[in-house]
Each structure stands twice: as C-alpha cells, then as structure tokens.
Amino acid sequence: MKAKIIGISSYLPSRVVTNDELSKTLDTSHEWIYSRTGIASRHVSAYDELTSTLAIEAAKQVLEQSEVRPGEIDAIIVSTTTGDTRFPSCACKVQGAIGASKAFAFDVNAACAGFIYALAVADSMMKSMKLKNVLLIASETLTKFVDWTDRSTCVLFGDGAGALVLQSSDDETSGIIATKLYSNGDEEKYNSILSHNGAQNDYRGYITMAGRSVFKYAIEYMAMSMHDILNENNMTMNDIDWVIPHQANRRILESLCKMKEFPLEKFVITTENHANTSSASIPLAMRDAMYRGIVKKGDTLLFSALGAGLVWGSAIIRL
C-alpha cells in the first residue's frame, strides 16, 4: 500500500510586500536583499488572517480539487511553527471549520522541516492504522513573528499555506517512496523565537537567526540527507525528475548544488516571490511548479529541508 497524493492546493495572503517597499523603512534596497537571498517579494498576512485562516482556505480548495468530502477524511495533520495559540491545535480548528467530523486532528512542529516530518507521520499512520484519506496542511504566518526594524531577518520571511490529500492506494507505481528524518538538539541555538527582552519563554517574541551558521548547516545536512535517502533506495539523481527543497534562500540552494555537485537545473526555486515560508515552502513550490506545467504526473520528486532544532530530512515521492 502506498500513500498517494491525489490533490494539492495553496493559499497565499493577498497583500504582497516588495523589497522596494521595505527599503522605505529599512536601511536596505532591492539589490541588497535580492543579491543575498534571491527574494524580491513576500506575501504578508493581515492582522485578522491567522495560521488557521490560511490552512482552512487551502483545505477547502484541495478537498474540492480532489473530490473528497470532509466526512471522508480520516485524519488532519497540520505542520506549523506559528500556531494561532498554544492550544487548541491548528488542525482541530481546520477540522471544525470544514466539518470533517470523522477525522482526528493534530499539529506537527518541526520548524522549516515540518512538512517532511508531517509527510513521514502521515505515511506511517496510513500504513499502521489503515487510514484511507489524510489531509496534510503546512501553514505559516512567520511575518507575525519578525522584528520589522531588523533587516537581517524581516526581509527573509513570508506567509502561506499548502495542502495535500493523501489517499491509500494499491498502485505501486506512485506514492510516497521513502522518508528520512534527523535532528540535533545540540544546535538549537542557531534559530529561535526570543521575547522582546531576550527571554526564551515568550511564545510571542521575535525570530532570531545565526545566519552564517544556518547557511553552513543547511548545505551540509540537506546534502547528507539527500545522499542517504537516495543510497538507501538504490537511486541516484538520475532517477529524480525534480528536487523541491525548502525555499529559505536562493544562495543556499545554489551553494548546495555547487559544493555538493547537485544539478541546479533540477531544482524548483520559488524564493523570489514566496520568500521563506518555513514548513509551507515545499508544498507551495510544488503547487506552483505543477500549475506552471513544470512538475507533472509520473515525475519522481526529492524533497529536502532543514529547520530550527536543528531538524532536517528528505523524502522521495512519485506523482
């Protein structure tokens, strides 16, 4: 039995903030930001647009697209590091909003690697619990957690949500082929949310980042997980049609390809218009590539991401 993707959708807030707009309030410019990150603009949620708001809209779209009724959903898994509240979970809010009364619901928090973690959890639960349909959503509102006076962080992030419907299938030609997860808690200091006065126990603080260290670890750890998952499944990059990585920074991805000899032409990169949307970045990039006809049914995809924790991982799927 394979967990097969039968639908994918995305939802982005309507407000778009360009680099030029940021340059009016920050000591920066479009050229400075773009040359260092590959980001030109980002979607920013309104005050009353919560992480659950984005998740619910993406969920409604993907259910309509996949022709699965809310009552046919067995489980809802939401990957987020920016939940509306500590509790209840964002997934429970989605369940109530869409009327998926049969589903159990919970959140997964693995920062920017959260989508891959949630994918692995969904795949495992579908096999062990014999679930038929799982709604998997990655939704983030990171711009609510940035210090808009700090040009080293606020230019990097955007908001958005991506949603998938996974369905159990006996068709062995498509579905999730493999997932592989890692973590290293010794390196948790490189990304975190700190309060305005520096305390580590304020949920509503600002994002902080040790940029150079994260850059280095992203290249090393993502390359390691990609090599590992390919080797363990007797595959090479020749077997992969597209790599869809976490969209943190275009320079990271270009350096990854140059230093680790991966083919950049196989990488889907959407940082220019999405910025870093944390765990939502992979499904957003995948949906964008499918909409543009770049990624097609039958393609084999390799996902990879690293996030705060540190946590990282990779996954291989065939559409």
Give the residue among 8, 233, 35 at the shortest CA–CA distance from 135.
8
Active site positions, annotated: 112, 246, 276
Give the pLDDT of residue 309.
85
Say what the pLDDT of residue 189 is: 57
Q: What is the pLDDT of residues 129-161, one digit of tens each?
A: 999 999 999 999 999 999 999 998 999 999 999
pLDDT given at position 168: 97
The answer for residues whose C-beta is within 8 angstroms of residue 157's C-beta and 6 or more apart is 42, 142, 143, 145, 146, 207, 275, 276, 277, 278
For residue 265, count CB atoms less than 10 angstroms from its CB and return exposed for 0-12, middle for 13-18, buried for 19 or more: exposed
pLDDT reading at 197 higher than 80: no
Query: What is the structure's pLDDT at 196?
Result: 45
Burial 212-224, CB ≥16 within 10 A → b, else e: eebbebbbebbbb
Q: How far is it, in rounded angstroms, from Cα 96 to Cα 120?
A: 24
| CATH homologous superfamily, domain 175-318 | Thiolase/Chalcone synthase (3.40.47.10)
Cβ 282 vs Cβ 136: under 8 Å: no
Q: What percent of the chain has pLDDT over 90?
A: 86
> What tokens appear for 222 in the block?
């993502």
| Confidence bin at 195 (pLDDT 50/70/90) | very low
Question: 78 near 108, Cβ under 8 Å?
Answer: yes
The pTM score is: 0.94
Per-residue confidence band for 187, with pLDDT thresholds at 50, 70 and 90: low
Question: In the predicted model, is pLDDT for residue 192 greater than 60?
Answer: no
pLDDT > 90? residue 10: yes
High-pLDDT (> 70) share of the chain, %? 94
Mean pLDDT of 73-78: 98
Report the chain's mean pLDDT, rounded to a whole number.
Answer: 93
Q: Are strands 104-108 and 191-194 parallel, antiparallel or unpaired?
A: unpaired
Give the mean model confidence (pLDDT) for residues 119-127: 98
In this predicted structure, the answer to whether residue 117 has a pLDDT above a threshold of 80 is: yes
CATH of domain 2-169: 3.40.47.10
Reduce the DSSP state of residue 64 to 3 states and report it.
Answer: helix
Quick one: pLDDT at residue 205?
73
Per-residue pLDDT for 194 more than 60?
no
pLDDT one-digit tens code per residue, 85-116: 989 999 999 999 999 999 999 999 999 999 99
What residue spans in the chain does CATH classification 3.40.47.10 cover? 2-169, 175-318
Instruction: Give the pLDDT score at 188.
Output: 56
pLDDT of residue 204: 58
**Cβ atoms of 131 and 265 closer than 8 Å:** no
pLDDT at 190 over 70: no
- Top pLDDT among 76 and 185 is at 76
